Structure 1
Amino acid sequence: MGEIKILLAEDHLVVRNGIKLLLNSQTNFNVVADVSNGMDALQTLSSDVEVDVVITDLGMNNLDGLQLIQEVTAKHPHIKVIVLTMLDCEQHMFKAFEYGAKGYLVKNVGSDELIFCINHVAQGGKYLCEELAMGFINSGIEKNRSKDLEFDPVALDLTSRELEVLELLGEGLTNLEISKKLFLSKRTVEGHRQNLIDKTKSKNTPALIKYAVLNGLIQ
């Protein structure tokens, strides 16, 4: 793709100059403006300066990064916004994407990842830095492990017939309908249903179905 014109909003001068130097070292990047706050960024965008991507910090005076994202999204929807911040909390990340950001990076990100993110976003993609993405994955793994510890389907000792009855209960069939479908007496089906309630420690049939769905016993 052609040259990517970048506006950099960062309130720390040394950090801003360092990022600008890095970006301008890339043949397809051009930092056309760098400012210290969101208000100056909006004024720049309202001038004749052509911008493809805005890279912004979040904690700035005179209009912070989240407000800037909202303003850019509303007034300049063709411009992509990437957050580059020290704030690695989920709340700020969710808000940034909700307001229209296309990328979110923490400031300890490597130069290669920063460059990749800009190119990817400029071409229409979205990007979450590896550190935060892996944090979500590891959190999900831990939640799954906890869930596995809480529920052991083998420990329920359900018979194949009980699982058949459970599946049909989940489909909304009555005891009589199940008995006809499985060629069992209605009393036998009622016995299987009660065994399922007892084994899962459910209060009633609706609670049994809810338990089965939550624990993956039925779809």
Structure 2
Amino acid sequence: MRILVIEDDVQLAENLRNVLEKEKYSVDLCHDGENGLFHLTEYPLDLAVVDLGLPKIDGIELIRRARAQDIKIPILILTARDRWQEKVEGLDAGADDYLTKPFHVEELIARCNALIRRSAGQANPEISIGPITLHTRSQQVFVDDRELSLTAYEYKVLEYLMVNPHKVISKSELTEHIYDQDFDLDSNVIEVFVLRLRKKLDPDGTLNPVETLRGRGYRFKTQW
């Protein structure tokens, strides 16, 4: 999953990037509202974390413009402002949730996870499809009672497929959502990750959990 952090405090932005990357998110950073709005309109994202006190375009106006352009990804406000009227203004502008600075990292992660799940119609932090269960909080994956050992990128691919089980997902879409904006989108590494996932999820070749649709991409199997 790919998150955009729009925060003018460079050190805080870097800290947020480090925290979120440890949770296996891909993270892009912007330090002003103008650049942030450009990234929102030009890049495929799963969530935006937006500070209200931004230069060039403030956070409230940025959110209004993003929603006016039909950008539908969930938006989490970060604000040092503790007046309830400003929180309401942010939510009315189109934000989905907010955190007041200072905040606990664990709460930030929990809110990010919840917003991304809800935007995909997955309110439960545990996603079960057939015999495969993915725990988004602990990032554990089980096939029946067998826990799998996945690399960070194998987990990212599986999570994106399972959060969007009815969707045909192209290789380029997968690449864009699990890597940051500087990654080479022509890489064939996604094919390697999918191959490894199939072997780990289905060593006997009986489940076929990840379908390949020739010329279109991949889809996580929902009928068992």
2:36 to 41, 50, 57: 41
Instruction: Give 3-state SS (helix, strand or coil) of 2:54's partner.
Output: coil
User: How many residues are treated as equivalent by the alignment?
Assistant: 119
2:101 to 99, 107, 110: 107
CA RMSD of aligned residues (A): 1.3
Instruction: Give 3-state SS (helix, strand or coil) of 1:8's partner.
Output: strand
| Greater C-alpha radius of gyration | 1
Deviations 1:29-65 (A, max 9, x none): 211x211111101112232x21111101101111000
Q: Where do 5+ consecutive residues of structure 1 fail to align?
A: 126-219
**2:82–2:100 CA contact under 8 A, matched in 1:** yes
**2:79–2:101 CA contact under 8 A, matched in 1:** yes
Q: Where do 5+ consecutive residues of structure 2 fail to align?
A: 120-224
**1:73–1:79 CA contact under 8 A, matched in 2:** no
Say which structure is richer in strand.
2
Matched, 1:60 2:57: no
Superposition deviation, residue 108 in structure 1: 1.5
Q: How high is the TM-score relative to the length of structure 2?
A: 0.51
Q: Hey, what's the Cα distance between the residues in 2 that align with 1:63 and 1:111?
A: 26
Identity of aligned residues (%): 27
Question: Partner letter of residue 10 of structure 2?
Answer: L
Instruction: Name the residue aligned to 2:16.
Output: 19
Q: How high is the TM-score relative to the length of structure 1?
A: 0.52
Deviations 1:73-123 (A, max 9, x none): 221432111001111111110001111110100122111110000011112
**2:40–2:71 CA contact under 8 A, matched in 1:** no
Instruction: Give 3-state SS (helix, strand or coil) of 2:38's partner.
Output: helix
Q: Hey, what's the Cα distance between the residues in 1 that align with 2:70 and 2:45?
A: 10
Question: Partner letter of residue 63 of structure 1?
Answer: I
**2:41–2:71 CA contact under 8 A, matched in 1:** no
Higher relative contact order (CA 8 A, sep 6+): 2
Runs of 4+ residues over 2 Å off in structure 1? none
Instruction: Name the residue aligned to 1:75.
Output: 69
Question: Partner letter of residue 94 of structure 2?
Answer: G
Structure 1 residues 100 and 46, CA gap change in structure 2 (3 angstroms): closer
**1:56–1:65 CA contact under 8 A, matched in 2:** yes
Q: Hey, what's the Cα distance between the residues in 2 that align with 1:46 and 1:104?
A: 21
Say which structure is richer in helix.
1
Instruction: Give 3-state SS (helix, strand or coil) of 2:118's partner.
Output: coil
